[in-house]
Amino acid sequence: MKVAIIGTGYVGLSTGVCLAEIGHHVICIDISEQKINKLREGISPIYEPGLEKLLLKNSSAGRLQFTTSHHDGLKDAEIIIIAVGTPQREDGGADLTYLEQAAYDISTYLTSDTIVVIKSTVPVGTSEYIKRTIENSNDKEINFEIVSNPEFLRQGSAIFDTMKPDRIIIGSENIKAAKKVRDMYSSLKVPILFTSIRSAEMIKYASNAFLANKISFINEIANICEAVGADVEDVAKGMGKDKRIGEAFLRPGIGYGGSCFPKDVKALVHTAKINGKKFKLLNETIAINETQQELLVKKALKRFGKLKGKKIAMLGLAFKPETDDMREAPSIKIANSLTKLGVKVVAYDPVAKENAHKILGDTIQFVDSVYEAITDADAMFIVTEWEEFKQLDLVEILQKMKHPIIFDGRNCIEEEKIMQCKAIEYYPVGRPEIVIEGPK
Ligand code: UGA
């Protein structure tokens, strides 16, 4: 099948690469010349495990192309996928500017009957609006159908999630168009659910909001566990064994971030509001998440009394491991709070340094290894659970610190390792703290 994709962000690029991998002829369109030039050279503009390998493989096989020209890209496309960003507006709603531009481009450069698939996360009713926008600006005798096909991939595992999704949602009012989109995915052999366009759009928001809710729920349980002396990791495990609850997304920590949950949860609250409803539960989900991001700073304040003049090593900056994405990363709030309190923050992240520097500037110091960060530090904050941090040789590390104190915002250090230390103070989230006093 000949597929055109508008937008080469996480969703557009991962989808393009994977559709090419399963045999389609894919052309990805983006307005950024710099991005397209990089992609043509086989370089991925984002850090995403496995993506570059498939990019190179499918580009050399001639199944994957890149262009800045809508004229070339949209020509004869059987399916056009819109995968542009829908950033958050001031009022919490979704900004549809890029989507509207894609609609104008489609109506201008459409050359044959086609199906327009909306993959971007869009508020309910948007796909119909985009259909009208294309129709109103299209004076050619060309037919097209609109399909809502939301994306559920996660950054850091985008290729796996695209090749092996739990389900594919196809929302359409036209059976022929829905079946054609199903055929595009047929070799993936995963469950497909056909719905109306509006239900498909809602499934995306409801899914992200539910997952964010699960995270805020377990974080609240974690806070209560600390108060009553229970261990949230055991509690989450015990809860998760119940199939009705499930084990996924019950990892406690310092809150969710990224380009999706914070934005989509607020957008759903906004949708409820403009439709005369109040989504009280989600308002709490947001509030809990914001408070949770302050947890490590509060714990450190409780431990030290005041933080002015201290040096804190911050391990991890990206909003989650296996990505260099800093959007809505808890590390931003933590770094800002610490610097306001007069702390010298020295941060290390395996891949997000450059992006973090764009946001935090010179307010904190960026270094290239854990060892540089922790040398002479008064405390260590673990902010992102990179595998590298789980593997740390604690005995060696703690010797380099001024004080062997760890605040683990992701509960990623094994208890066994902590118990091997001669002296350590370890403060996890929702679990009993461990204090081993060294020889006096
Ligand atoms: C999320 C959804 O998981 C995807 O299904 C969806 O397609 C995507 O948003 C999107 O809308 O595009 P993503 O933001 O890439 O994916 O990352 P997640 O793995 O969902 O993590 C989001 C945040 O939640 C991270 O900050 C992570 O640290 C946090 N999290 C996740 C927890 O704190 N606890 C958990 O148990 C799981």
Which positions ≥6 away from 381 have C-beta within 8 Å?
A: 296, 300, 312, 313, 314, 315, 334, 407, 409
pLDDT in tens, 238-289: 999 999 999 999 999 999 999 999 999 999 999 999 999 999 999 999 999 9
One-letter amino acid identity for 51? L
Query: Which ligand 1 atom is nearest residue 328's CA?
Result: 26
Query: Which ligand 1 atom is nearest residue 320's CA?
Result: 28
Sign (positive/negative) of CA torsion 162, 168, 171, 172?
A: positive
Q: How many whole angstroms separate alpha carbon 332 and alpha carbon 68?
A: 33
> Is residue 17's pLDDT more than 80?
yes
Would you say the CB of residue 260 lies under 6 angstroms from ligand 1?
A: yes
Q: What pairing do the DSSP bridges indicate for beta strands 64-67 and 434-436?
A: unpaired
Domain extents for the chain?
A: 2-195, 204-291, 293-436
Q: Which residue's CA is the closest to the ligand 1 atom numbered 5?
A: 152
Query: pLDDT grade, residue 188 (50/70/90)?
Result: very high
Taking the CB of residue 139, how many other CB atoms lie within 10 A of it? 8
Ligand 1: which of 208, 295, 326 to mutate, judged by most atoms within 8 Å of the beta carbon? 208
pLDDT of residue 111: 86
Query: pLDDT grade, residue 35 (50/70/90)?
Result: very high
Mean pLDDT score across all residues of the chain: 96
Q: How many whole angstroms separate alpha carbon 327 and alpha carbon 263?
A: 10
pLDDT of residue 438: 76
Residue 123 Cα to chain centre, angstroms: 18
Q: What is the mean pLDDT of residues 52-59?
A: 97
Quick check: 162 and 14 in contact, CB under 8 A?
Answer: yes
Q: What is the mean pLDDT of residues 99-103?
A: 96
Overall fold of domain 293-436: Rossmann fold (3.40.50)
pLDDT in tens, 413-422: 999 999 999 9
Q: What is the mean pLDDT of residues 126-143?
A: 89
Architecture of domain 204-291: Orthogonal Bundle (1.10)
Sign (positive/negative) of CA torsion 49, 55, 60, 61?
A: positive
Q: How many whole angstroms separate alpha carbon 408 and alpha carbon 428?
A: 5
- Say whether 421 is catalytic: no
Q: Which residues on adjacent β-strands are paired with residue 289?
A: none
**Catalytic position from the list 18, 28, 260, 412:** 260
pLDDT of residue 52: 96
Instruction: Please classify residue 195 by burial: count the beta carbons closer than 10 Å to its beta carbon, then call 0-12 exposed, 13-18 middle and 19+ buried.
Output: middle
Query: pLDDT grade, residue 88 (50/70/90)?
Result: confident
Would you say the CB of residue 265 lies under 6 angstroms from ligand 1?
A: no
pLDDT of residue 440: 65
Q: Which two tokens stand for residue 171?
A: 């929302």
Ligand 1: which of 11, 13, 46, 153 to mutate, judged by most atoms within 8 Å of the beta carbon? 153
Q: What is the mean pLDDT of residues 22-39?
A: 97
Query: pLDDT grade, residue 142 (50/70/90)?
Result: confident
Q: Which residue's CA is the closest to the ligand 1 atom numbered 19?
A: 154
> Is residue 133's pLDDT more than 70?
yes
Overall fold of domain 2-195: Rossmann fold (3.40.50)
Q: Where are the beta strands (DSSP E) in 225-317?
A: 311-315
Q: Which two tokens stand for residue 141?
A: 């005798």
pLDDT in tens, 303-362: 999 999 999 999 999 999 999 999 999 999 999 999 999 999 999 999 999 999 999 999
- Ligand 1 centroid to residue 261 C-alpha, Å: 7
Asked if 2-195 and 293-436 have one fold, the answer is yes
